[in-house]
Amino acid sequence: MANAPTAYAYDFLNFDALTGLLANDGDEVVSPSGARYKAIYLGGTTRMMTLPALRKLATLVEGGATVIGRAPVADPSLADADGQFAALVAKLWPGGGSAKVGKGQVIADADVEAGLATIRVRSDFRFTAGAPGPGSLSCIARPTREKSTSSAMAAPPPRRSRRTSG
């Protein structure tokens, strides 16, 4: 996904998980398995969203969740005969901008990392790269406040010199 975060861990969310599994716990969204999320990002194809999905997002935001992303533009099912879709979009994205809604908020930004920075979520990963060449080292680290830190490191294999017979 082109607009996926590069410095934050994330999970993908489908309609069934959104409408059937997620609940509020303060300013976080939680699943029955114990997974906790600081925000729901609307990227990819979420510009088209069904009315039931939009209703669930509104419920989560009113309960304390943060949603980051641009407003959906239409319900692909065309089931919204009485304007509920447009009314919910106007409530969550008034004038197309960011808004406090109930106990939560909507950050109208297509840049998920900027939105997460707005709510002061620290990045999960930091990528550093050494100078290319033999002995260089690239590192992806996961900074934490705990005493132990997990990280994954990758070093390119040493180059072998080529000898030609002559």
Mean pLDDT across 128-157 = 44
* Res 67: pLDDT: 93
Least confident stretch, 22-31, 45-54, 90-99, 135-144: 135-144
Average pLDDT of the residues of the chain = 77
Cβ atoms of residues 54 and 85 within 8 Å: yes
Residue range 9-29, pLDDT digits in tens? 677 888 999 999 999 999 999
Tell the burial category of 125 from Cβ atoms under 10 Å away from its Cβ (0-12, 13-18, 19+).
Answer: middle
- 150 compared with 109, residue with greater pLDDT: 109
